[in-house]
Amino acid sequence: MIDHIAKIDTARRIVYGYASVITEKGKPVVDLQGDVIEADELHAAVDEFMKSVRTAKLSHTTRQVGEVIHSLVLTKDIAAALGIDTGGREGWIVGMHITDDEVWKSIQSGTSGLGAFSIGATAIREEI
């Protein structure tokens, strides 16, 4: 599921939001490709991404426009332990530092068309 930018920190050039939502109101989310991501799969993918990649690219292109500097996989167990009421939403929350001046200006002006995050990945499809 693609989710919107929730917060823009202008002074630090950071945008925050869910990079991926896997559960909404307690029900699994089916993404645009018809896939469902389990919490353990999301944890594994995010761990690997944060250890070795962290790049923010423009609309699934090779153009790097920043990097992910804050990351939290928020599951119901983690939310409960932290006292956070997510309303039944689980997913991956990111803070992305935007280094590309052109992209940053367009985000600030609201003309970028980049009002949301979307993850890109390769995976092996398993039929359930």
Q: Model pTM?
A: 0.83
pLDDT digits (tens, 9 = 90+) for 29-68: 998 788 899 999 999 999 998 999 877 767 666 778 899 9
Residue closest to 41 by CA, chosen among 95, 92, 116:
92
Task: State pLDDT tens for residues 84-110.
Answer: 999 999 999 999 999 989 888 888 887
Domain ranges of the chain: 3-117
21: left (phi over 0), alpha (psi -120 to 50) or beta: beta
CA 41, CA 2: separation in Å to the nearest integer?
Answer: 17
